[in-house]
Amino acid sequence: MKKSVEISELLSKDVLGGIKVPHSVSQPLIYSENGYYFLAVFAFFFNNEDIKSGLVERPSLWVIANVETGDIVKRYETKEVDFSDAPYDIKYNIRSDGQYDTSQGYYDRAFGILDEVREGIIKQGVFHEDRYMEYLNMIVANIPREYQRFYYDLSVKAENNPNKKEDSKMEEVKNVSDETGVLDEKMNSPQPDNGADAEPKLVSDSVDDTAQSIKDEETKADGSEAVLCAIDISNL
């Protein structure tokens, strides 16, 4: 099983599939679909004006990845397949609104908990809800209030999740395929290969001028990728 800290770094680099625009990526979350558990991250795009104002649009892209290897399985644009009912016609304040602990040790502990949760899914087929909520709460504690909802919206709806929806809790991984044929029994069980049958592609070729976590650093004029983490919005 690949470590969560490694997967987080890889997803941050690969989430756009090679498109070079300034963007930021959330920390990895546990997501469930058709009885399967996955890792998932969302991304948003930003520009200089967003950095100055501290206001950004909601996430416009998200991906799901193999829970063991971190290999990307699907990419979605939110206007095609959404994970949140948050409105698009407003911007969200991502300036610091509290005391954050963004130390290496803090995130080492958080990712250690996520590793435990993933190991339970992979080896026992069991989702340890309480431990996952410990991880999620540690991550969300470093996110400005108006953007916290997107972490809960994308995350598996555990019993203690503030955004829990009815009949969404799952305790064991089922070995079933989804209707698209992209997923199969290998996605949530130990496997020798990457578990993805084909190179994942964006739902469409267009990318909205949207944004998520923002660091106090200028957008590069040549449009090259800005490697940012959600925790960096605490710098604003």
pLDDT single digits (tens) 160-202: 556 554 333 333 333 222 332 333 333 333 333 333 333 332 3
Q: Strands 29-33, 36-45: parallel, antiparallel or unpaired by DSSP? A: antiparallel
> Is the pLDDT score of 235 beyond 50?
no
**Are 63 and 74 in contact, with CB atoms under 8 Å apart?**
yes
**Alpha carbon distance 111, 219 (integer Å):** 29
Residue numbers of the domain that contains 95: 4-235
Name the pTM for this structure. 0.71
**Six-digit token string for 236:** 């604003």
Tens-digit pLDDT profile for residues 17-73: 888 888 899 999 999 999 899 999 999 989 999 989 999 999 999 999 999 999 999
Instruction: Determine the Cα–Cα distance for residues 201 and 185; give it in Å rounded to an integer.
Output: 21
- The residue with greater pLDDT, 201 or 9, is 9
In angstroms, the CA 159 to CA 232 distance is 29
What percentage of the chain reaches a pLDDT higher than 70? Answer: 67
User: What is the total count of domains within the chain?
Assistant: 1
Report the alpha-carbon distance of residue 162 to residue 152 in Å, rounded. 7
Six-digit token string for 66: 């193999």
